[in-house]
Structure 1
Amino acid sequence: MKIQQVHHVAYRCKDAKETVEWYKTNLNMDFTLAFAENHVPSTHEPDPYMHIFLDAGNGNVLAFFELPTKPEMGRDENTPKWVQHLALKVADRETLVAYKDRLEANGVEVLGVTDHSVFHSIYCFDPNGHRIELAYDDPKAAALAARAAEVKDEMLEEWTKTKRAPRQAAWLHSKELSEI
């Protein structure tokens, strides 16, 4: 028994139409499906909602709920804004830079390109306040990830005991990657 893939990931949105237009315009996603009910099918709670679905490529689906009867969206103030995010893969650096240019041309503030050694990313926020990361794998990603995977268990155990950053894979951000 094994999970096949993510069926869809769902977030809340402030405005379904604005969200569809933002993802179509800025990330070139296709709007594929919408559901709307006045009762929640799983709980039978009377609560109207609009559920929208966007094609995020390769069978990946990004979905949103607009909930007009609920209080305005908030976020967990105890979690930094950079932690909770949706990372979307792009083909290469050229594509990443093209998205950066497109987002900035549309008035979206973009952070990066950030070098994470294994991959490179840009970051922005959608109109709902969700942090979006676009990333491409470094050409050396497979070799870097294989080397880092060798110490993952040891790192997790050390982290569990100390709650301090283990140093076994510190080389990933130290730029001593020439031997890989």
Structure 2
Amino acid sequence: MKVEVVRTHLSLFVRDPAHSARWYADILGMHESARGERWIMMAFGSKHHDIALIEAEPGAQQGGLGLQHYGLEIAGDMDTLRRLYGMLLAKGVEVVKITDHEIGHGVYFNDPDGNRLEFFLETDHDDVRAKARFKAAGAPSRHFHLDPL
């Protein structure tokens, strides 16, 4: 059976949901959509939530298994990506890498708990061609220089 996914969401264990919620609001422009005793739901738009921030057990640490990164495909052009990169730098967000994937460009960065996110600007909008290019190139991830705006 083929699963038809129409939308995704992400749930993260974090040290301090209120602190993380402020960060996600400030950096990603999200808003709080619901709150419980140990969790806060954040949304980009009118959906009930896109990212759930759940309080981790005391002493929890980032591990070697689990989420590698959460990619956020952005609308716009290279100047949009450059402005987002500049905003991350201006706000002191840890930028991990800047990558050319052959079919798009990514700026990878960490949230306050070390969860990695990516602003991804797709550059090849033909899905069939993009899949073929991505596969042929071996899912490339090459560094490139990006000037922040």
1:147 is matched with which residue: 96, 111, 132?
132
**What is the identity, as a one-letter code, of the residue corresponding to 1:54?**
M
Q: Over aligned residue pairs, what C-alpha RMSD do you find?
A: 3.0
Alignment deviations for residues 13-67 of structure 1 (CA, whole Å, 9 cap, x no partner):
111111011111111111211123xxxxxxxxxxxxx121111358461111014
Q: State the structure with bigger RCO (CA 8 A, min sep 6), 1 or 2.
A: 2
- In the alignment of these two chains, the number of paired residues is 139
**What is the identity, as a one-letter code, of the residue corresponding to 1:105?**
A
Looking at structure 1, the residues matched to 94 and 9 of structure 2 have their Cα atoms a distance apart, in angstroms, of: 27
Looking at structure 2, the residues matched to 58 and 89 of structure 1 have their Cα atoms a distance apart, in angstroms, of: 18
Q: Which runs of 5+ in 1 are unaligned?
A: 37-49, 153-168, 174-180
Looking at structure 2, the residues matched to 144 and 125 of structure 1 have their Cα atoms a distance apart, in angstroms, of: 31
Q: State the shift of 1:172 in Å.
A: 6.6
Does 2:104 match 1:137?
no
Q: State the shift of 1:142 in Å.
A: 2.9
Rg bigger for which structure? 1
Aligned to 2:51: 62
- Is the Cα–Cα contact under 8 Å of residues 31 and 53 in structure 1 kept in the other structure? yes
Aligned to 2:144: none
**What is the identity, as a one-letter code, of the residue corresponding to 1:34?**
R
Aligned to 1:13: 14
Q: Which runs of 5+ in 2 are unaligned?
A: 141-149
TM-score (norm. length: structure 2): 0.76
Pairwise mapping of residues 95-110 of structure 1 onto structure 2 (< 5 A)? 95-110=80-95
TM-score (norm. length: structure 1): 0.64
Alignment deviations for residues 102-139 of structure 1 (CA, whole Å, 9 cap, x no partner):
11101112244311011110011100110111101114
